[in-house]
Amino acid sequence: MPHLLEMTGIQKAFSGVPVLKGVDFSMDSGEVHALLGENGAGKSTLMNILTGVIPLDAGSVAFDGQPLENITIPKSEAAGIAFVHQELNLINDLRVYENIFLNRELTGRFGHLRKKEMSEQARVLFEELGVEIDPGAMVEKLKTSEKQLLEIAKALFRKAKLIILDEPTTALNNDEIAHLFKILRELKAKGTSFIFISHKMPEIFEIADRYTVLRNGTFIQTGNISEITPKEITKLMVGGEFFGENHYQIRELGEPALELHGFSGSGFSDVSLTVRRGEILGVTGLQGSGSSEFMRCVFGDTASTGGTLKINGAEVKTGSIHRAMQAKAAMLPADRKENSVVPDMTLLENMYLSEHTLSAWNFPIHVAKEQAKYEALKETLDIKAANPDLLITSLSGGNQQKVFLARWLNTDAEILLLDNPTQGIDVGAKTEIYRLILQLAKEGKTILVNTLEIPELQQVADRCAIFYEGRIIKILPHDEIEEHTVMLYSTNAVNAKEAG
Amino acid sequence: MKQKLSNAWTRYSFIFIFVVIFLFYMTVSNGLTWGGVTNILRHSAVIGLVSLGVALVIITGEIDLSVGSMLAFISGFSVCVFNVSHSIFLTFLFALVCGALCGLFNGVLVGEAKMPSFIVTLATMLIYRSLAQYYCQRMDSAVTGGGNSLFKMSRDIDGYALLYGFGNNKFLTIPNVGWVLLLFTALAVYAAASTKFGKKLYAIGSNEKSARLAGINVPLNRTAVFAICGIMAGLGAFLWVCMNGSADPATTGKSYEMYAIAAVVLGGIAMSGGKGEMIGVLFGAMSYTIIDKIIVALKMDSLINDTIKGVILIVAILVQTAGPALKQRLKR
């Protein structure tokens, strides 16, 4: 019997950079297939090719015994493939049944909508699924878990044979996950197949039948879940890669600079930590684990809901960025383009933006003084730019990031919160950023680095706090920071193994 | 070199547009005098000041539609204050404070309550003018000084001659009000380009998220910029009463919000915020004043006025936005 889905030798490059290097992927009817890999392994690209979001460069796809060529979104839908994205693609301002029938509305002779009939069909569908959603409710009012189920119902209504679930459990609580899994099992028994993308090991071992691991755009291994352990999978995902020379060295640490007690806020809770002057604390955790939200809250971008935050011994009230800045905290936010770049401004203007808010009552700008300061920081940080009057957008990612680092050094900040500082930066520039982080710590800055890239933490971190579902699940000392140990904790595979 | 020239073109196209319109005016006015030229400044004064305020608002990515109505409201009540207090100083102070309060009202709703500025200022546009018209009818004619449809300064008050003189006399061959416009343009250029406050406005308009995470208090600065816009409208209103000695709540400042936006856009400031230079506003406002004068010189029906202004706006924006896009396509 031919496979339900057979993808062979898939290749894809984005502007010359290969993302998929001849990947094979196949699965059978009625199975839940876990697609595994680290961030950037090529999972999303592969799924986007399958669903016609992006075209492939080379390779072939066959679905349900038929070759699929020049895949487009409608074509893949017609073949019976549905993609339930992580950020759900429902229209909040429409009713539940209207979403299900979107673009497939039942109409009467004069084009009027047969609302009752659509609503009734939706009700029947939900009944079969064992889902309690009112077909007439506004989607906006639904819980995330209900939206997730609605997406699946929508896919089923469109006669999907294969449903791709991209991290479907991220926003769900345990009961909701159990409900979702129950429905998935029932559908599986009726012959629907699933590709399940997730980082959470316990779930994968609960629901999946088979797995395929990708790493750096290549196929690594496929097999039955029953024949492998979470530890082995983690090892396959991580591989033996190692890059760059390690410049890490042990430093003298000073008195406590950042003290947290039972610190809680939206997305994380009960964080207790003491970080000393000159220390580099790595913070990590998968998307949605709360590590990024934690950093933002320390910087005052959001208000905490409990616990205390002390900087240099003095308690700081959260909820105001300006207050955090006055307490000498600084944050390099994740997603540089969105959260750091002011695209219409020059390097110098971008660099001075934050300092200006601290010296706001001294209205005039002293250009010569600012340029001198820029030159000094340019020297320290090794920023490669011809002159300070260039637009920030004319620089490479790495150099932009250095300008933003300069923005904060210019405020005399002592606590640097770096959220994913090497995102979208090429390897050479990454190494330079690590070097700078180490150098700054040596000069007495206290640094928190939040990243998903473990090799990065091995290069810089004195300790590494691992977040899982909003809490610190483990703090590893420098010597124990190791990709697959970190992965074990951040997917909670440790406890999955103990439970199994 | 070619690159530089085309950069300068997109950046300073407002000067080119101004020069073209000005040259056209010279040819049709048969024998333009220096007095005629400086008269352009006189007639640009009020709309120019208002436009400077609106430009600052637009740089932050917002809009203020209420300035025309503010002009009617403030100028009307300034006349009343003068008639009652007989004091030029109090009248001046009232115009500025009243403008600041009108603007602050917009600002608090937009900045702190986070309402869309289009809606807020649309509402206050209706409110301010309606209040001016209502009280013009209801108040004692000794206070309004005119009939029930006009605010008129009393000519018997001592300060009247001084005030009216200020609005209509010249200093060094240039009308006083023209000097005021030039002075405030210079101030606005300085504030926007060379103060920390100005940079924050650009940053907010360019990328609000980045601006906030860089530590800028976005709500506070938004509120402030609307208040400043109101002060500029107050100043414009004061000049208006100096020049005319009266204010008609139904027609004073009518459509000025639209002319102001047009002048700002013609001056090369992006509606999306974050881009453009204040000096462009002066040229934008003067360009529109000249169009009025061209229509008079050609003895055309004044009702065609707005058609021509509208067409010029479309052409100017086409040049600014479609120009670079067209060039890109030709390159390929």
- Give the pLDDT score at B328: 63
Chain B contact for A495 (CB, 8 A cutoff): no
Mean pLDDT value across chain B? 89
CB-nearest to A353 from B195, B199, B275 is: B199
Compare all CA atoms of chain A with the CA of B214 and give the residue at the minimum distance: A354
Question: Whole-angstrom Cα distance, residue B42 to residue B289?
Answer: 9
Instruction: Please give the Cα distance from A217 to A19 (Å, whole number).
Output: 5
Tell me the CATH architecture of domain B42-323: Orthogonal Bundle (1.10)
pLDDT digits (tens, 9 = 90+) for B31-82: 788 888 899 999 999 999 999 999 999 999 999 999 999 999 999 999 999 9
Angle between helices B196-206 and B34-59 (to 10 degrees): 60
Asked if residue B298 has pLDDT above 90, the reply is: no
pLDDT at A242: 44
Contact B46, B71 (CB under 8 A): yes
Q: A344 — contact with chain B (CB < 8 Å)?
A: yes
CA distances from A276 to A213, A222, A284, A317 (A): 40, 45, 19, 20
Other C-beta atoms closer than 10 Å to the C-beta of A313 total 9
User: What pLDDT digit, counting tens, does each position of B118-161 carry?
Assistant: 999 999 999 999 999 999 888 888 888 877 788 988 888 888 88
Interface with A, mutate which of B7, B207, B221, B272 (most A CBs under 10 A): B207
| A413 at interface of B, judged by CB pairs closer than 8 A | no
Structure tokens at B123: 């509402």
The whole-angstrom separation of Cα A318 and Cα A324 is: 7
pTM of the model: 0.77
Helix (H) or strand (E) holding A99: helix A96-100
A298 contacts on B by Cβ (under 8 Å): none
DSSP letter at B318 equals I
Q: Does domain A5-238 have CATH number 3.40.50.300?
A: yes
Q: Is B2 on the interface with A (CB under 8 A)?
A: no
| Chain position carrying tokens 């008079």 | B296
B226 lies within 8 A of chain A by CB? no
Pairing mode, if any, of strands A471-477 and A463-468? antiparallel
Are B197 and A339 inside 8 Å of each other by CB?
no
In this predicted structure, what is the pLDDT of residue A157? Answer: 85
- Amino acid sitting at position A425: I
User: Would you place residue A427 in the very low, low, confident or very high pLDDT band (cuts 50, 70, 90)?
Assistant: low
Average model confidence (pLDDT) across chain A: 87
Give yes or no for A419 touching B (CB within 8 A).
no
Least confident piece of the model among A276-285, B56-65, B124-133, B312-321: B312-321
Where does A28-90 show beta strands of DSSP type E? 32-36, 58-63, 66-68, 81-84
Residue with tokens 């309402």: B115
Q: Which span out of A380-384, A391-395, B239-243, B290-294 was modeled with the highest average pLDDT?
A: B239-243
In this complex, the residue of B197, B206, B215 whose CB is nearest that of residue A342 is B206
Least confident of A161-170, B189-198, B220-229: A161-170
pLDDT value of residue A500: 39
Structure token digits, residue B111: 């900045």
Largest CA distance in chain A: 81
- The alpha-carbon gap from B117 to the nearest alpha carbon of chain A, in Å, equals 22
Cβ pair A268, A470 in contact under 8 A: yes
Q: What is the pLDDT of residue A499?
A: 44
- H helix runs in A250-346, sequence order: 291-298, 321-326, 336-339
What distances in angstroms separate CA B274 from CA A116, B60, B116, B268, one per listed residue? 50, 6, 18, 11
Q: Is the pLDDT of residue A91 over 60?
A: yes
How sure is the predictor about B331, in pLDDT bands with cuts at 50, 70 and 90? low
Judging contacts by C-beta atoms under 8 Å, the chain A residues touching residue B199 are: 345, 349, 352-353, 356, 365
Q: Which tens digits make up the pLDDT trace of B79-127?
A: 999 999 989 999 999 999 999 999 999 999 999 999 999 999 999 999 9
The whole-number average pLDDT for the span A52-58 is: 90
Residue B303: CA count within 13 A, CB half-sphere: 0
Residue with tokens 């159990």, as numbered in its chain:
A178
Whether residue A358 lies within 8 A of chain B, CB to CB, comes out as yes
Per-residue pLDDT tens digits for A313-339: 999 999 899 999 999 999 999 888 889
Q: What is the pLDDT of residue A39?
A: 67
Query: What's residue B327's pLDDT?
Result: 66
Burial of A391 (0-12, 13-18, 19+ CB in 10 A): middle
| Chain B partners within 8 Å of A292 (Cβ) | none
- Quick one: pLDDT at residue A245? 60
At which residue do the structure tokens 């001084």 appear?
Answer: B162
pLDDT, residue B10, reads: 67
Q: What residue spans define the domains of chain A? A: 5-238, 266-499
Is any Cβ of chain A less than 8 angstroms from the Cβ of B33? no
Rounded to whole angstroms, the Cα distance separating A307 from A310 reads 10
Handedness of CA B156, B162, B165, B167 (dihedral sign): negative
In this predicted complex, what is the ipTM? Answer: 0.83
Identify the closest residue of chain A to B201 by CA–CA distance: A353
Residue B14 has a pLDDT of 85
Residue A262 main-chain phi, psi, to 5 deg: 50, 30
A87 has pLDDT over 80: no
In chain B, where do the E strands start and end? Answer: 151-152, 170-171, 174-175, 246-247
Least confident of A236-240, A285-289, B216-220, B322-326: B322-326
The CATH fold assigned to A266-499 is Rossmann fold (3.40.50)
Using pLDDT thresholds of 50, 70 and 90, give the confidence band for residue B11. Answer: confident
- B197/A contact by beta carbon, under 8 A: yes
DSSP string, B159-226: HHHHHHHHHH-EETTEEHHHHHHHHHHHHHHHHHHHBHHHHHHHHHHH-HHHHHHTT--HHHHHHHHH
Is B232's pLDDT higher than 70?
yes
Q: What are phi and psi of B275, to 5 degrees?
A: -135, 145
- Averaged pLDDT for residues A160-189: 86
**Comparing A246 with A392, which gets the higher pLDDT?**
A392
Per-residue pLDDT, A496: 64
Backbone angles phi, psi at B157, to 5 degrees: -75, 140
Residue whose pair of structure tokens reads 């401004």 in the numeric block: A345
A299/chain B closest Cα distance in angstroms: 9
Question: What pLDDT score was predicted for residue B144?
Answer: 83
A341: left (phi over 0), alpha (psi -120 to 50) or beta: beta
